[in-house]
């Protein structure tokens, strides 16, 4: 490890850093697990790869049971099924959602007829987008 900078060489490995040893997310003050649960493969997307609802829920429950509290998803993961699985699970397990930070990313509207509306909404919500977003 001599070739690594000291700060990196002293970092604990993944096996030494439990999910409930929370770290601060940037300068937000929000305390989250050191490893986020990526929900990219939650849901069986036709023509793609992914986990069944049952497998996805089992993965989510194991992560939460181990103390995890940071989940990453996006509207285009498995064509929106990832978000649906997460939403359905949290709706069925009242009180759990308030203990979890979810990073929701919006890529684009999944429905062609609403893409223009989505672009216009993004442009209205972000002043820097007015020059760069499609009309």
77 tagged catalytic: yes
- Specify the pairing of strand 37-38 against strand 70-74: parallel
Q: Where are the beta strands (DSSP E) in the chain?
A: 23-24, 31-32, 37-38, 70-74, 101-105
Cα 89 to chain centroid, rounded: 15
Which among 22, 63, 77, 81 is annotated as catalytic? 77
CA dist 123 and 135 (Å) reads 8
User: Which are the catalytic amino acids?
Assistant: 77
């Amino acid at each position: 490890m001599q070739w690594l900078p000291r700060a990196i060489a002293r970092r604990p490995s993944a096996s030494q850093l439990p999910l409930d040893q929370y770290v601060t997310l940037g300068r937000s003050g929000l305390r989250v697990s050191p490893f986020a649960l990526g929900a990219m493969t939650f849901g069986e997307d036709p023509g793609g790869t992914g986990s069944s609802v049952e497998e996805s829920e089992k993965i989510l429950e194991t992560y939460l049971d181990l103390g995890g509290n940071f989940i990453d998803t996006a509207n285009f993961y498995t064509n929106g099924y990832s978000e649906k699985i997460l939403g359905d699970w949290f709706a069925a397990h009242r009180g759990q959602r308030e203990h979890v930070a979810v990073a929701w990313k919006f890529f684009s509207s999944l429905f062609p007829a609403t893409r223009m509306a989505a672009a216009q909404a993004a442009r209205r919500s972000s002043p820097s987008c007015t020059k760069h977003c499609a009309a």
